[in-house]
Amino acid sequence: MQIYLPIAEVSVNAFLLLGLGGIVGLLSGLFGVGGGFLITPLLFFIGIPPTVAVATGANQVVASSVSGVLAQFKRKAVDVPMGIVLLIGGLIGSAAGIWVFNILTRLGQIDLAVQLSYVVFLGSIGLLMLQESLRAMRRAKTGAKPGKRHQHLWVHKLPLKLKFRASGLYISVIPPALVGMAVGVLAAIMGVGGGFIMVPAMIYLLGMPTKVVIGTSLFQILFVSAFTTLMHAITNQSVDVMLALLLIVGGVIGAQIGSQLGGRLKAEQLRSLLALLVLLVALKLGFDLLIRPAELYSLHPGRAG
């Protein structure tokens, strides 16, 4: 069933979009990742313009994080003060990201910038995940214990210290605000939630206990991606609500199935499969930038600024 997407201005098969949302939802349910970093590049591959893919990706992240945040609140696994510090940083980062996004759009370089950032991020994350899962598999065989995580003591010497009761921390607000800001920039330019950057940063950089990390990061992601969606809709009219709805419906169903399946499958093998998938997407995106395009010219409505 072909449908016409009013903002992307392309016709696509509705079931393809539902399936795409479903597969990404399945992966996110299996691995507890947001999935935004997979959905946006997959949208490029089916011919959605990158600007629309990024803005709509942000909208989809809102839907996929809202039920998670509610569940985490019920479990009291959200450190609200920490979440607010991360959020303030995130909003500043997102606003800056949107500003850069619109400048790049005017210069005609946004498609390239988005694709390049995906190649870099997916490539490095895929490699890290692959390395980690291979190490975990080897560890499972030899039975060796994981090494002690090292502490970044300089974090504790900065001013503007605040008490974060739920995390049991007394640290400066500067590092979490900076982490939030970096995630906000990524949200605006790549249409991702940014959990894959924020979660490790919260654990290793801020030293937060794992029990509040997921809830607090989801709290930040929900509001930052909501703000990002709104800013994209207002400044460059690139949120496609039809596209978002189909992805959301597919994604939520997939996520439920994924979280059911997740308990029954071997985590390490799956993780290395996800790593390979992420690397594959990065390679395909990188390859597309290297080969000579069939048409070297492109048309854009309006006059270049």
Partner 1 sequence: MIGAAIRTALAALMLAAPAAAQEAPAPPEEVVAGLSQDNIGITARFDGSTILIYGAVKRDAPEPPGHLGVIVTLEGPSGAVTIRHKTREMGIWVNTSAVGVASAPSYYAVATSAPLAEILDPAQDVIQRISIPLALRSFAGPLEVADARPFTEAMLRIREAEGLYQLDEGAVHLVEDTLFRADFTLPANLTEGDYKTRIFLTRDGQIVDQHRTAIYVRRVGLERWLYVLSQNYAAIYGLMSLALAVIAGWAAAEAFKFLRR
User: What's the rounded Cα separation, in Å, for the pair 173 and 197?
Assistant: 18
Nearer to partner 1, 34 or 89 (CB): 34
- 183: its two tokens: 């995630």
Instruction: Give Cα separations from 118 to 54, 189, 231 (angstroms).
Output: 11, 10, 21
Question: For partner 1, which residue of 45, 47, 70, 135 counts as binding (CB under 8 A)?
Answer: 70
Choices 9-17, 41-49, 145-153, 266-274; region in contact with partner 1 by CB under 8 A: 9-17
Choices 38-46, 67-75, 77-85, 202-210; region in contact with partner 1 by CB under 8 A: 67-75
Check if the beta carbon of residue 166 is closer than 8 Å to that of residue 78.
yes
264 binds partner 1 (CB under 8 A): no
153 binds partner 1 (CB under 8 A): no
170 binds partner 1 (CB under 8 A): no
Nearer to partner 1, 107 or 265 (CB): 107
300 binds partner 1 (CB under 8 A): yes
Q: Estimate the crossing angle of helix 267-290 against helix 110-142, to 10 degrees.
A: 150
Give the containing element (helix H, strand E) for 164.
strand 161-164
Q: Which of residues 200-239 bind partner 1 (CB under 8 A)?
A: 226, 229-234, 237, 239
Q: Which of 135, 169, 127, 148 is nearest to 280 (CA)?
A: 127
What does the chain come to in residues?
305
263 binds partner 1 (CB under 8 A): no
Residue ranges in contact with partner 1 by CB under 8 A: 2-7, 9-11, 59-60, 62-67, 70-71, 108-109, 112, 116, 226, 229-234, 237, 239, 241-242, 244-245, 248-249, 252-253, 256, 289-290, 292-293, 295-304
